[in-house]
Amino acid sequence: MSDLRTLYQEVILDHSKRPRNFRLPADSNRQAEGFNPLCGDRITLYLKLDGDRIADLAFQGSGCAISTASASLLTETLRGKTTAEAQELFGKFHDLVTGKAKGTDSLGKLAVFSGVSEFPIRVKCATLAWHTLKSALEGGEKPVSTE
Ligand code: ZN
Which residue ranges make up each domain of the chain? 2-140
The residue among 32, 25, 68 whose CA lies nearest residue 48 is 25
Global model pTM greater than 0.95: no
Q: How far is the CA of 88 from the centre of ligand 1 (A)?
A: 23
Residue 137, pLDDT score = 93
Q: How far is the CA of 113 from the centre of ligand 1 (A)?
A: 13
Residue 1, pLDDT score = 54
What is the assigned CATH class of domain 2-140? Answer: alpha beta
Q: How far is the CA of 37 from the centre of ligand 1 (A)?
A: 9
Q: How far is the CA of 109 from the centre of ligand 1 (A)?
A: 19
Residues of the chain short of pLDDT 70, as ranges, are: 1, 140-141
Strand-pairing partners, residue 43, are 34, 61
